Amino acid sequence: MTLHVAIIGGGASGTLTAAHLLQRRVNPQRLRITIVEARQDVGCGVAYSTVQACHLLNTRVHNMSAFPDDPTHFSRWLEGQGFGPGRDMDFVPRKTYGRYLADLLGPAAEGGLVPRLQILDQECVALRVHDHGVEVGLADGSVLPAHFAILATGICRDDQKASGLEDPWSRPSDADPASPVVLVGTGLTMVDMVLSLLNAGQSAPIYAISRRGLLPQPHRPTKPLKLSTADIPMGSSAGYLLQWLRTTIRAHEAAGGDWRDVMDGLRPHTQLLWRHLPPDSRQRFLRQGSSLWETHRHRMPPSSAARMEEARAAGLLRIVKGHFQGAERHVSGTSVTYRPSGEKSLARLEGAYAIDCRGFRRLSLPTPNRLLQSLVDQGLGRLDPLSLGLDFDQNDALIDRDGRSARRIFGVGPITRATHFEITAVPDIRVQAACLAERLIGTPGLSATHTA
Ligand SMILES: Cc1cc2nc3c(=O)[nH]c(=O)nc-3n(C[C@H](O)[C@H](O)[C@H](O)COP(=O)(O)OP(=O)(O)OC[C@H]3O[C@@H](n4cnc5c(N)ncnc54)[C@H](O)[C@@H]3O)c2cc1C
């Protein structure tokens, strides 16, 4: 049997999954992979498509290898590209990482006698499941048969045009740097946008607005605290967990450590923590603890932090605490309406344009992603109770309307966020991709086909 795996989405998650399937040295006659990607390029997805050198990885080189069991794979690749040795602790441009991801698949896509990897520059609009496999419906009306489909579609993005905000990755490039700009959200995307604006000579204020006005914390070298599962109060409420985290941090700092050591020590356990969190606590955590969590867990490179600090000190970057209500475009710019934190009345900010820097949003239906909408309409998938994404089980199988796990459709990356929560960064996605590859390769009838 030749196992045919269709991966829907060729961003980091789809690419890492394909790389892990290919790495398992299955006889090339026995494994075929098709990546269906609506965009022109495979490997980059949203995060690594930026061409701007100031948009850095927020994770150090030594944590960004595609293969968890080969941690120097990315640094060796960098060295081969002329970056020089000793880059392990650096934060390199994300566009460089996009090239690395694309390079992972190069040899397989180029072929040999049996092409193992095919890339289809198409949108997948539907999936149909039958006893022996799946049919992948494409936007041009054609159908691709496969044994398994893996959803690697990333998060669903809102229709920014409807919100009055600009897409951060295709914002106006001809804007006047002497006009104010409004950024909605103060996370890592906001940092990228501020750096781009500063590089373009922005001289008018940049307003960045979020409910708590919290910015990502800067990275510093850490010594992750050694925590075992037994050290962590699994299954307790969000309130108790946050209290435990604060106490642990205080004790660690009193002993001369840094809070980052605790956050990084907790990292290997966060998916398990999420799994054990009671449903109402998950909701409470998202409402009350998530901004603090995000800003401490997803940190920015020190060089970016220094530039943000300079811009704030110069009055160029102004952080506004408030709840975004809406944006309206007019002839001369965009008006952003918000409710200042702690106040009842609304206020307004004017900019030449306003950019959506809110990052992950809840998935709302109907969604502009035709595939996800069709999965829900057919009952093959369902929204998770917190609307973080589609519902998947612990083995990353899609859960249908009646709560049954699919045998043919899986997910990888942020689309599975409802199940794992911390599944947006490469160090987490690569482990998930490796496990999924192992499971699919173990499909009966294929297990004896590994090359020597
Ligand atoms: C700006 C930014 C910076 C980041 N920086 C880092 C970092 O420094 N370090 C780190 O570890 N993580 C970082 N991350 C997080 C992480 O790398 C991303 O979560 C990851 O890239 C997600 O990849 P993905 O493939 O799941 O999603 P995406 O990148 O969104 O890719 C999904 C792809 O699927 C395609 N697609 C969707 N639906 C269909 C369909 N129906 N048919 C065909 N194609 C479809 C889309 O066109 C897209 O190319 C960053 C994320 C962002 C957004």
Q: Which of 170-174, 290-294, 369-373, 395-399 has the lowest mean pLDDT?
A: 170-174
- Contacting residues for 36 by C-beta, under 8 A, at least 6 apart: 6, 7, 8, 9, 10, 120, 122, 123, 124, 136, 138, 144
Candidates 119, 426, 428, 430: which one to mutate for ligand 1, based on the most atoms within 8 Å of Cβ?
426
Distance 149 CA to ligand 1 centre (A): 18
CB neighbour burial string for 107-130, b if at least 16 within 10 angstroms, e if fewer? ebbeeeeeebbbbbebbbbbbbbe
pLDDT value, residue 329:
94
Q: What is the dihedral of CA 266, 267, 270, 273, to 10 degrees?
A: -20
Range 145-153 average pLDDT: 97
Q: Which three-class secondary structure state does DSSP give residue 198? A: helix
pLDDT value, residue 106:
81
What is the distance between the alpha carbons of residues 110 and 122, in angstroms, rounded to a whole number?
19
Range 391-417 average pLDDT: 97
pLDDT value, residue 157:
66
Relative to the CA of 9, which ligand 1 atom is closest? Answer: 34
Cβ 289 vs Cβ 242: under 8 Å: yes
Band of residue 114 on the pLDDT scale cut at 50, 70, 90: low
Candidates 100, 153, 300, 432: which one to mutate for ligand 1, based on the most atoms within 8 Å of Cβ?
153
Distance 25 CA to ligand 1 centre (A): 26
Mean pLDDT of the chain: 92
What is the distance between the alpha carbons of residues 244 and 261, in angstroms, rounded to a whole number?
15
Structure tokens given for 38: 């609506």
pLDDT value, residue 397:
98
Comparing C-alpha atoms, which of 26, 145, 12, 35 is closest to residue 412?
A: 12
Range 142-151 average pLDDT: 97
Of 41-45, 96-100, 280-284, the range with the highest mean pLDDT is 96-100
Select the more confidently predicted residue: 361 or 451. Answer: 361
Pocket of ligand 1 (CB under 6 A): 8-14, 36-39, 45-47, 57-59, 94, 123-124, 152-154, 189, 369, 371, 413-414, 424-426
Candidates 37, 420, 421: which one to mutate for ligand 1, based on the most atoms within 8 Å of Cβ?
37
Comparing C-alpha atoms, which of 408, 378, 370 is closest to residue 123?
A: 370
What is the distance between the alpha carbons of residues 363 and 390, in angstroms, rounded to a whole number?
8
Band of residue 115 on the pLDDT scale cut at 50, 70, 90: low
Distance 289 CA to ligand 1 centre (A): 24
Query: Is a pLDDT exceeding 60 seen at residue 447?
Result: no
The residue whose CA has the least distance to atom 41 of ligand 1 is 124
**Which residue is associated with the tokens 């690749």?**
77
Q: Which of 222-231, 283-292, 296-305, 418-427 has the lowest mean pLDDT?
A: 283-292
Band of residue 112 on the pLDDT scale cut at 50, 70, 90: low
Cβ 47 vs Cβ 94: under 8 Å: yes
Q: What is the pLDDT of residues 162-218, one digit of tens each?
A: 689 999 988 767 789 999 999 999 999 999 999 999 999 999 999 999 999 999 999
Range 234-256 average pLDDT: 94
Q: Give the number of other CB atoms < 10 A from CB of residue 241.
A: 20
Query: Is a pLDDT exceeding 50 seen at residue 448?
Result: no
pLDDT value, residue 84:
84
Query: Is a pLDDT exceeding 90 seen at residue 288?
Result: no
The residue whose CA has the least distance to atom 12 of ligand 1 is 425
Query: Is a pLDDT exceeding 50 seen at residue 452?
Result: no
Distance 396 CA to ligand 1 centre (A): 17
Candidates 417, 424, 431: which one to mutate for ligand 1, based on the most atoms within 8 Å of Cβ?
424
Band of residue 340 on the pLDDT scale cut at 50, 70, 90: very high
Secondary structure (DSSP) of 222-286: -------GGGS-TT--HHHHHHHHHHHHHHHHHTT--HHHHHHHHGGGHHHHHHHS-HHHHHHII
The rounded percent of the chain whose pLDDT value lies above 70 is: 94
What is the distance between the alpha carbons of residues 208 and 185, in angstroms, rounded to a whole number?
6
What is the distance between the alpha carbons of residues 426 and 94, in angstroms, rounded to a whole number?
12
Task: Give me the domains of the chain, ranges plus CATH numbers.
Answer: 3-157+362-449 (3.50.50.60), 160-217+299-356 (3.50.50.60), 229-297 (no CATH)
Structure tokens given for 317: 């970057």
pLDDT value, residue 170:
82
Cβ 81 vs Cβ 75: under 8 Å: no
**Which residue is associated with the tokens 């998202």?**
286
pLDDT value, residue 186:
97
The residue whose CA has the least distance to atom 19 of ligand 1 is 424
Torsion sign across C-alpha atoms 27, 28, 31, 36: positive
CB neighbour burial string for 56-93, b if at least 16 within 10 angstroms, e if fewer? bbbbbbeebbbbeeeeebbbebbeeeeeeeebeebbbb
Query: Is a pLDDT exceeding 80 seen at residue 451?
Result: no
Q: What is the pLDDT of residues 264-274, one digit of tens each?
A: 999 999 999 99
